[in-house]
């Protein structure tokens, strides 16, 4: 069972929706990379054998009663981690694209820098990541747009390989974007004057399935994220969540 | 033009009857029925009271009284549709929070049972 074992405890969360082709190896490779660290698979009401295979591989399961989408699914995991007292949570995608051997580096950076979020950046480093030109153009556009909002450059704002600390967990338990959360999350944190860091990470091809972002959905994604970013920029936020001044 | 106003009167009475019946059968909550009731009564009054409708037409600077009536109707529908979207958004937020809470409680209950067993 997953229970935070003392201060500084880490939980790895894996949001999954119909990932039976990859979830077993993903959970096993996380357990190999960080032995003793609990793995929580958040099942977004899969219709296949995702839950059975994840359980068999040794993961704890958080089963949502109906499909919520990626944001709702992730927030459920963050809420549980916060309630159970975890200090750090690292998200790994259920399709096998993230290399769990990078988890210790993400954790190390979270601990060393005390920043609220560390992003596993897919652009540089070993195992350089290749993507289609449309997506590359989209990422370039978002980098350009986020630069003045965040006050610093971000190389890979759409990466799902992300580690957060307890201060970010507290915020995410209350406020988390429900669709396409990666970019909006950065703005949510920035509004609280939280910090993020990026480290280059290896990427692997999907073990199974394909991206849910079709050409039509990409346009919807673009508009949705743009709107989400500007809503978050304009939103009035309570000052209670800002970190204390050093 | 008169026929158009008669049709509007008929539609208003039908809408009024539908709202009242739904209220009686508890198919619609009172707080959501008020706007519909007001809208149907306003449509009924305007379609029957030609003088008032002409005054509204003059106020809006429109050439045609029934046009004024339908413009008002369309504006009310737009407002109602927007209000419905606001209500749906609240419901969705609450629904997501509930679903997450159910999942977390189930998880923790299973944990407790395993711990005790």
Residue with tokens 């296949």: A48
- Shortest distance between the Cα of B106 and any Cα of chain A, in A, equals 8
Q: How far is CA A79 from the centre of its chain?
A: 14
Token pair for residue B68?
A: 């004024």
Domain range for B19: 2-116
CA A154 – CA A121 distance, rounded (Å): 9
Number of domains forming the structure of chain B: 1
Is residue A164 within 8 A of residue A88, CB to CB? The reply is yes
- Position with higher pLDDT, A82 vs A96: A82
d(CA B78, CA A16): 39
Residue in chain B nearest A66 by alpha carbon: B99
Eight-class DSSP state of A203: B
Which pLDDT band, with edges at 50, 70 and 90, does A244 fall under? very low
CA distance A164 to B26: 47
The segment with the largest mean pLDDT, out of A121-125, A208-212, B87-91, is B87-91
In this structure, what DSSP letter does residue A243 have?
Answer: P
Structural domains of chain A ordered from first start? 10-240 (3.90.550.10)
CA distance linking residue A13 with residue A60, whole number of Å:
10
**What confidence score (pLDDT) does residue B45 get?**
92
CA–chain centroid gap for A124, Å, is 19
Q: How far is B83 from chain A (nearest CA, A)?
A: 19
Closest CB to B103: pick one of A1, A63, A178.
Answer: A63
Which residues pair with residue A198 across a beta bridge?
A119
* Residue A1 pLDDT exceeds 70: no
Instruction: Provide φ and ψ at A162, rounded to 5°.
Output: -135, 135
Q: How far is residue B33's CA from residue B21's CA, in Å, rounded to a whole number?
A: 11
Q: Which residue of B has its CA nearest to A84?
A: B108
* Whether A62 and B114 lie within 8 Å, measured CB to CB: no
Return the structure tokens found at A173.
């338990």
pLDDT, one tens digit per residue, over A113-140 is 999 999 998 764 455 556 667 777 888 8
Q: What pLDDT is stored for residue A218 in this prediction?
A: 73
pTM attached to this predicted model: 0.83
> What is residue A123's predicted lDDT score, i.e. its pLDDT?
60
Largest Cα separation within chain B, whole Å, is 80
Residues A35-47 have pLDDT tens digits of 999 999 999 999 9
CB contact under 8 A, B100 and A63: no
């Amino acid at each position: 069972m997953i229970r935070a074992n003392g201060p500084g405890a880490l939980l790895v969360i894996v949001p999954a929706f119909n990932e039976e082709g990859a979830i077993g190896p993903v959970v096993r490779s996380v357990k190999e990379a960080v032995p003793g660290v609990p793995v929580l698979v958040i099942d977004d009401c899969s219709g296949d054998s995702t839950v059975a295979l994840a359980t068999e591989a040794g993961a704890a399961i958080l089963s949502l009663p109906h499909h919520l989408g990626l944001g709702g699914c992730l927030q459920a995991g963050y809420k549980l981690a916060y309630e159970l007292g975890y200090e750090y949570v690292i998200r790994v995608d259920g399709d096998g694209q993230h290399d769990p051997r990078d988890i210790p580096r993400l954790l190390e950076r979270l601990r060393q820098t005390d920043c609220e979020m560390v992003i596993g950046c897919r652009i540089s480093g070993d195992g350089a990541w290749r993507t289609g030109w449309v997506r590359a153009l989209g990422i370039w556009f978002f980098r350009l747009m986020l630069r003045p909002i965040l006050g610093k450059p971000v190389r890979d704002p759409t990466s799902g390989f992300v580690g957060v600390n307890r201060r970010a967990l507290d915020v995410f338990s209350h406020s988390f974007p429900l669709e396409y959360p990666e970019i909006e999350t950065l703005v949510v944190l920035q509004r609280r004057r939280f910090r993020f860091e990026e480290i280059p990470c290896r990427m692997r091809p999907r073990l199974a399935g394909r991206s849910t972002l079709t050409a039509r959905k990409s346009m919807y994604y673009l508009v949705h994220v743009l709107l989400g970013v500007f809503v978050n920029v304009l939103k009035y936020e309570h000052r209670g969540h800002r970190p204390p001044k050093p | 033009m008169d026929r158009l106003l008669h049709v509007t009167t008929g539609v208003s009475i039908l809408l009024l009857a539908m709202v009242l019946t739904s209220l009686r059968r508890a198919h619609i909550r009172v707080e959501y029925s008020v706007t519909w009731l007001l809208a149907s009564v306003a449509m009924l009054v305007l379609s029957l009271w030609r003088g008032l409708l002409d005054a509204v037409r003059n106020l809006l600077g429109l050439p045609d009284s029934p046009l004024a009536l339908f413009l008002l109707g369309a504006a009310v529908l737009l407002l109602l549709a927007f209000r419905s979207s606001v209500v749906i958004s609240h419901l969705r937020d609450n629904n997501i929070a509930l679903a997450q809470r159910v999942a977390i409680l189930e998880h923790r209950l299973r944990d407790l049972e395993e711990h005790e067993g």
